[in-house]
Structure 1
Amino acid sequence: MGFPFIGKLYDRVYFSDNGLIQFQSISQNEQFLLPVPFPTGFRGNEGLAMLAVFWDDADLTLGEGKLFYQEYHKLNMSDRYSQIVFSRTADDVTRFEERNDKPAFTPAWILKITWDHVMAVSYQKINYSEANTFQCILTTDGERSFALLRFGEMYWGPGQRIHHDTLTGYTDGGAHFFNETTDPTNLFGPGGRYRPQEVKGNTGQLGQLVYDLTGPTEREQDPKMRCQVWALKEPEPKEWAKGVSSCPCTRAQALEDLAFGPETLPPNQQDRVRVTELRGLRWGGSGGHVFQSILSNRHGSGKRCVYDPQGPLLAGYSERYFSGATAQKHIDEDLLPFQWCCIQSPLCHLYLAKRPLDRCQGYGWVSPDCCITAAKATQGIGMVYGSLHFITFDGTEYSFKALGEFVIVRLSSYTGSNIFTLQGEMCELKTDRQARRVPTVVRMAAFHQGIGKVEWRCAESGEGLEVLVDNVKVPVFVGVVHMGKEGFAVRCTSASSCAAVYAGGLHVVVWRVGGGGGAQQLAALVEVPQTFYNRTVGLLGFWSSNRTDDFLQSDGKLMISPKSNLPPEESLRQFGLSWAVPVPESLLFSIPPTGRFTLASTEELMSVSPAVQDRLRRTCQGSLQCVHDILASNDTGLGLQSLESQELYHKLATVFGNMPPIVTEPTVIRCKVKSTVRVQISTQDSNLDPISFSLLFPRPPQASVGKSDGILTWTPLNIQPVYLTIRVDDQLLSSQFTPILQVCNCLNGGTCQYNSIVDNHLQGRFLVNKHADRQTDRQNSKGSISTWAWVFSPRAQYELVLF
């Protein structure tokens, strides 16, 4: 956590025996020797951020003087003494803030510095009773910051020194500074400049001061400060990202995934321009193809996914203010923090912690992330189409002929209760006003527990669809036509095709089949997420990855299917009839068929001459279902529609069934200038395909990767920004990943501090700090050489308590 000081965030606190504290950024390594204070105090031209607790020339080599310090972090509250320090600090600052009508203060970090019996520099005579004991407590909650000054025994005398200019106050080195004022004629008398323990401070207590070091308002804060303040206020993603869809792993999947659609922009022109500009700053945002989730979760959060035009996912952005919030809220809380943290400051890790990035298959940018739902395994896909054909979730293709209402699919919970049901009404196919003795689906209805009912049927006029949600018609146009309760929407891709999209990956798309003769025929494709594996029943079968148990009847009995052959048509009819919907459970309330009706069997329809069959097979590209439907309907168009439905199924099975390989590690590569690093690139491929590696252009000089072994070799030549993108291929698909490169330019024997980022670039290169002590004399003073302590990491140290 950085320390906010007068509107700027500092990474190091640097203090000396002279009672002076300096604030430094990561890129600063100088130890400025400032033994004596400025005679005229702070004036705003110092060029350094400083806090003078009691600044004057001291010498720890005299007497029993000691300098103690101790850090306290919010995470080590188990220690009772730490709890006391946190509690007292919170109380003291809160009392100070309440006097200014400001809210209570809860510290997240405390640094306590104690100068114990410190003696002044003496050139001749030494009086060991003239020692000072005082203390400073620096504390912050990440946004507000304070210094608590405590003066105990302050007994310095004039000694043999010429100058008596001790200073208490602070400066940011520029426009903001403050000096405690005292009577210039009273130095060592009661209440004098060297007796602050006898003066009432701004707390109303003798020898106690509180400085509010927070500084300017938010608009004047530097980007690092804004980034930290934002990150500290933000809840953990697990509190708001649950239920947000994972990005499809490829652009092809995104195009076919009903839960994702084209990116939308705010309607207001000014907001549109600003949002476009800020989204373009993010990884892949300027040239990628962007899709967004159709649904948001109950917190209004959603996902935006950016793809390379060639297909790989570049990045998926979890956005907390995705819907239901104003465009300005989205700008302020989702987009501007990326600019503050990842472009204008080196704090991108804070952004990544609060807005985890989706790289596909559950991997975030810097680590596997539990808040990113793992990409779906090959989800179950089933289809009903034509007159009347089914493809089960395990891929078995069969036909079933009957009239009435039937359960197409029913999904159950882990406890066995029904969650979702899709029913279809099968009527006799009619073309050119003539009955064709084969069934087809004319209406469908879905019911989801806690959400409600959706119904699809052919429009009364034209060739489109009618869609009803809870028995109320919704308009049909291209786009989202209905946004229902949490986790549900109706989306239409044309006037004749509309889908019910449910959270979690359950989708039902229903379309009206064209063709001549004014046929009223529907087809449907059902996508079921992996959570319902082994929990599907109905005409689309039992999903188990084993085709022999597809035909599970409603009474629980299994119709055994030989491995290579379907059961006879009559047996399939008995299986299908077991899934007839009882009247009390009907969603469609249709009138049951009356009278005897004899449907044409497949054998009867196919009893045409071999020459006709051969001609139709060529027309249908070998599809028997297409041939069947042409013969049944006397309509080549309807048969070819069945062929298209089959092709759609196999296309989706291929698109969603083959997942691209992905780089799992390393996501961060640490290296030194002019030192060669060798890194093993690790990958995973859910299809277990062979993988090859390559680097995309432009790539850094001296960088290469083994095509088959995935060993990356690189010798950074300098700290100029570079772009290193790893591409992994499995012959069918590819993905690419740009790791974080931490480059250290440490050529003087210093130590690279890889946890301290000095500069960062969107190209993926992060310059890290090197630490090499340097001392700089900022004054032409003959004062003593000072003892300094430089705090930039937690450490335990004995301390003297002045409370």
Structure 2
Amino acid sequence: MFSALKITNVEKFGFAMFAPMWTDNNAKEGRVLYHVYDRAITGMSDDEKATALHAMTLATDDVRNAGGSSDFRPTSVIVVTWENVLPRMSYDPQNDKPSTFQLVIIYDASTWTTYLIFGYETSGWDKMLTNRESTIGYYVTQYGKVYKELLWVSGKEASFNLANLQGNTGETGRFIYQVGFSKNIINYAQKCDDWYNNQDQQALASQMASIQPCPCDLRQAKGDKRWKKDTDVTDMECFYQRHVLLTNATQYCCYDAPRGSLVVRNDGTGGHMFSFSPKTNKEMHLKHDVEPKTWCCSYSDNCHLYLAARPINNCQNYAAPFFAEWTVYFDNTGWFFGDPHIRTLDGLTYTMNGLGEYVLIVTTNGEFTLQGRTTRALDSNGNEILGTIFCAFAASDANSDVVHVEMNEKRDGLIVYVGDEEVTYWVSTAATDAEKEYVGVDISRKSSLSVDVLFESGFSLTMSISAGQLDVTIGAPLQFTNKTQGLIGVFNADPNDDLLPSNDTVPLSPSESERTIFYKFGETWRLKKQDSLLKHINGTSCKGFERTDFVPIFLDELLASMTDAEKQRANTTCKGDNKECMFDLTVTGNEEAAKATLDFNTKNTEQSETLANHSPTIVTLTLLNATLGEEVKLNVTTTDVDGDSVNLTLVYDLPAGAAFDSAIGNFIWTPINMDAVNIS
């Protein structure tokens, strides 16, 4: 028996012979032991796993100590030990003693790299006997080529004394070699498989639970400020979450630009989860999301493994940041506009003409705060009136920079600070949709008169100037249900409890008079000076706000006292009975300001309704088998969670021989040729 190991079917029909001592020995003496350690073996006990891991660690250290790549990571280790073997021919019991030696094969399937360790514990055979030779090395065939390497001692007397010779490892009796045929070849399928097997399933489940579902269509993705567009993608429009939670994960959502539909594909070219956000941790994103995707989806056929660990999202459970139906829980929007008219997160509208600084939103856990400052409104001649407008806002998350936005003295421009940095010039001159990133908050420039402020908590603000008044629109994430207070109300889809004073646990009824709402609710949310986030800046529109004795005009009282002529004028300007527009027109005499109030309210209402409207779900076969000359039928059904009617239309022309009944969703086709077709 010869002391060697033969392996057949080596990477496409070759074979390998590894010989720590190719010489004739006595099969009846001693024994041969072997063990295979493989990362892919399942069903191992904890002790077996620990033993395998220890073997892998030792093998990795051996390769790296021998100058191997720091990226080398064995997928399997084979250990064969010849213990106490004796020669078969010319055995001399006086001079021949048992020999023990070992072969270790270390294989990295991801790069098809193999290392051999020849280890010799004892060399007891008499090297001087005639007809005794030993060959040590390897011989491999692959793709018709032969790769071989022999140790320098092969065929020499020294081959029987290796236990006493210093090896190339620096240790006595220990030699390591890289098998020549495996250099510079990468097995991407194996790399993908190894990557998938090393995914922490518990951590993945936690990440999946923490991320937002994709918006259902492009319209929602563009309108939902929690999502940031990936400008590096050109063939689709793709978005990822602007801010991520502690898990670092984000959903990546892509849309077909012409149709606006969410792209869901099994080849990895659409959207799916990222374990690391490209915004917050680009290096880890490239290593753990992009590179494995290349191995699995681009360079091998294992994309199903990648998408099992980075799942596709089909927008199920997506909640838009705007809604019109208060009985359905979606993320919501409130706004402050005009001569302070307030629409709460639950849709209650009231007017609060206080003069000073107020808490607009404070979350019960202290995670988000929005404060506002008012100043006296002006009539069409520039004179102060008994009404107020917002002139400044300040907001922050618990751990973010404070964003301060204020209207300038001429009421025709913004003054903006993030922390202690003034970005007014940038807001005035930067490109549309230009962005700046700060601690826990992003700021996006919409125009010289409008900015979006986007916080890590998920709250979003749009602050803008129109007709000499500063307005703000607020988007609140669903997780803050029953966790908001202030002038914006308690966010829980119930407008009846929105008027909750800061010093009471019982809300006012929405049917109370504006005077009662002002004194018993609004004034209770007046800011204490030591709690203010608002800056004090010279040369702004915020003047005289420190007065606490100011008594405003109240909306309901004003409307009740209007003459028929005033009502007629207001109805004409305000296009109907819009109380907020009518109030601003009557108090200020400024039609431009009144129309700005009407337009702002109308725009936000329409946007809320539009974004809260879900795309319909289309159900049909994903695979259609068709035979040339034979009729095939396909039925398309639709559902809509909003109860809207759905009309089916084809984006592309029907292929020859096809007909589609859009009323009932029936598609009938008899293929007449082998041309490729697009049915959508």
Q: Distance in 2 between matches of 1:345 and 1:695?
A: 34
Relative contact order (C-alpha < 8 Å, sep 6+): which is higher? 1
Quick one: distance in 1 between partners of 2:409 and 2:182?
69
Q: Taking structure 1 as reference, are residues 150 and 688 closer, same or farther at Cα in structure 2, changes over 3 Å only? A: farther
Does residue 429 (structure 1) correspond to residue 384 (structure 2)? The answer is no
CA RMSD of aligned residues (A): 5.5
Cα displacement string for residues 227-262 of structure 1 (whole angstroms, at most 9, x for unaligned residues): 567768988767999977654332112222233455
Corresponding residue for 2:126? none
| In structure 2, C-alpha distance between the alignment counterparts of 1:640 and 1:221, rounded to whole Å | 67
Question: 1:269-668 residue pairs with structure 2 within 5 A?
Answer: 279=233, 286=235, 288-291=236-239, 294-295=242-243, 305-309=253-257, 310-314=259-263, 315-316=270-271, 320=276, 322-323=278-279, 338-353=293-308, 355-361=310-316, 378-413=330-365, 418-431=366-379, 432-461=381-410, 463-474=412-423, 475-476=426-427, 477=430, 478-485=432-439, 487-514=440-467, 519=468, 521-561=469-509, 566-573=511-518, 574-588=520-534, 591-593=545-547, 597-599=551-553, 601-605=555-559, 607-622=561-576, 623-661=578-616
* Greater per-residue helix proportion: 2
Matched residue pairs, number?
594
| Deviating more after overlay: 493-502 vs 313-322 | 313-322
Q: Distance in 2 between matches of 1:67 and 1:691?
A: 71
Conserved in 2, the CA contact under 8 Å of 1:420 and 1:447? Answer: yes
Q: Using the TM superposition, give the Cα deviation of residue 352 of structure 1 relative to its aligned residue in structure 2, in angstroms.
A: 2.8
User: Does the CA-based 8 Å contact 1:381-1:526 persist in structure 2?
Assistant: yes
Residues 518-554 of structure 1: CA deviation (Å, up to 9, x unaligned): x4x2111111101100111111111121222121111
1:21 correspondence with 2:21: no
Secondary structure, aligned partner of 1:483: strand
Bigger mean CA deviation after superposition, 289-298 or 472-481: 289-298
User: SS of the residue aligned with 1:452?
Assistant: coil
- The offset of 1:638, in angstroms, is 0.9
Moved more, 348-357 or 497-506: 348-357
Instruction: Pick from 102, 108, 117 the counterpart of residue 140 of structure 1.
Output: 108
1:599 corresponds to which letter in structure 2?
Answer: I
Distance in 2 of aligned mates of 1:138 and 1:724: 50
Residue 425 of structure 1, CA deviation: 1.6
Find out whether 1:51 has 2:16 as its counterpart: yes
Secondary structure at the counterpart of residue 527 of structure 1: strand
Q: Amino acid of the residue matched to residue 592 of structure 2?
A: G
Per the alignment, in what secondary structure is the counterpart of residue 313 of structure 1?
coil
Task: Output the amino acid matched with 1:470.
Answer: G
Separation in 1, partners of 2:353, 2:653: 60
Indicate conservation of the 8 Å contact 1:167/1:180, yes or no.
yes
TM-score by length of 1: 0.60
Counterpart of 1:448, as a letter, is D
Please tell me whether the aligned partners of residues 401 and 441 of structure 2 are also in contact (alpha carbons under 8 angstroms): no
Match of 1:251 among 218, 224, 229: 218
Q: Is the 8 A contact 2:66 2:176 kept in 1?
A: no
Structure 1 81/111 Cα, relative in aligned 2: closer, same or farther at 3 Å?
same
Please tell me whether the aligned partners of residues 290 and 306 of structure 1 are also in contact (alpha carbons under 8 angstroms). yes
For the structure 1 residues 88 and 547, does the alpha-carbon distance in structure 2 shift closer, same or farther, using more than 3 Å as the test?
Answer: closer
Secondary structure of the 2:561 match is coil
In 1, the alpha carbon distance for the partners of 2:385 and 2:59 equals 89
Mark the CA change 1:307 to 1:106 in structure 2 (over 3 Å): closer, same or farther: closer
Q: Is residue 379–residue 527 contact of structure 1 (8 Å, CA) maintained in 2? A: yes
Deviation at 1:688, TM superposition (A): 6.4
The percentage of aligned residue pairs carrying the same residue is 21
Contact 2:333 2:476 in 1 (8 A): yes
CA contact (8 A) 1:405 1:423 kept: yes
Query: Gaps (5+ residues) in structure 1?
Result: 1-16, 25-46, 57-65, 116-132, 153-164, 266-278, 280-284, 364-375, 728-803
Q: 1:212, 1:18 → 2: CA distance?
A: 14
CA distance in 1, matches of 2:286, 2:526: 53
Matched-pair contact (CA < 8 Å) for 1:692–1:710: no
Q: What letter is aligned with 2:418?
A: V
